[in-house]
Amino acid sequence: PIVRASAKTGLSSSGRLHDLFVTVESMTPGQFKSIQTGSGQKISINYSSAQTPYGHVVLASTSKGLAHLTFIDDQSMALPRLKEYLPYAHFTHHQDDFQKNAVKLFFHLHKGVHFKNAPLHLHLKGTPFQIKVWESLLTIPSGLLETYGGIATAIGRPNAYRAVGTAVGKNPLSFIIPCHRIIQSSGVLGNYMWGPERKKIMIAHEAAKNELKNQA
């Protein structure tokens, strides 16, 4: 069975997810409202793009942490895509340390290198239930898979597997929050927002890397 860390703010993975300390903070109701309706002071967002082993990504962060990461094929759509997710934020094209650490994480995990002493701060827009689901996803070790029902049980809501599926589908941080490690109870890989082939490649690569570690 998968060994889980407690799903709470400031969790640290008990598996071999990234060997780093992850802090998760949700946006306040005021911040959430301002970026949804335009009321109040606009939240400031830095954004940039980068190439990763699994494709091109666009990243966005607040002053408190990484807020959004998505794969994108057409780079000209980077800012429009972000404005769909954070419609009333103020955007500045700038790669800050939160984004740099996230990009480094892609390459360190791809090479099987531990990524120590570099906390990854996440600042997420979501409901309390969604945040709890995303935190639970962070505890799935690289190379292992979990089901929607398994996540539902882990967060103390065993009958909420459909709601878990919806929350997984709204994951704002591709790969960083590893929703690609979620499969159906039948063993079918299921859908993936960023393409089923990309999901297959991620799972296969992590499984192969994990097998090599076990043989070492």
3-state secondary structure the chain: CCCCCCCCCCCECCCCCCCCEEEEEECCHHHHHHHHHCCCCCCEEEEEEEEECCEEEEEEECCCCEEEEEECCCHHHHHHHHHHHCCCCEEEECCCHHHHHHHHHHHHHHHCCCCCCCCEEEEECCCHHHHHHHHHHCCCCCCCCEEHHHHHHHCCCCCCHHHHHHHHHCCCECCCCCHHHEECCCCCCCCCCCCHHHHHHHHHHHHHHHHHHHHC
What's the whole-number average pLDDT of the chain? 82
Work out the average pLDDT over 203-211.
87
By the 10 Å C-beta count (0-12 exposed, 13-18 middle, 19+ buried), 212 is classed as: exposed
Is 117 a residue whose pLDDT tops 80?
no
- Whole-angstrom CA distances from 140 to 3, 62, 178 are 8, 26, 8
Tokens of residue 63, six digits: 């002053």
Catalytic residue among 59, 151, 164, 179: 179
pLDDT the model gives residue 182: 95
pLDDT the model gives residue 27: 85
- Lowest-pLDDT choice from 4-18, 79-93, 144-158, 190-204: 4-18
Residue 26 banded pLDDT, cuts 50, 70, 90: confident
Known catalytic residue: 130? no
Percent of the chain with pLDDT over 70: 84
Percent of the chain with pLDDT over 90: 50
pTM, two decimals, is: 0.83
Work out the average pLDDT over 126-147.
91
Is 130 a residue whose pLDDT tops 50?
yes
- Lowest-pLDDT choice from 25-39, 149-163, 185-199: 25-39
Neighbours of 81 (CB within 10 A): 15
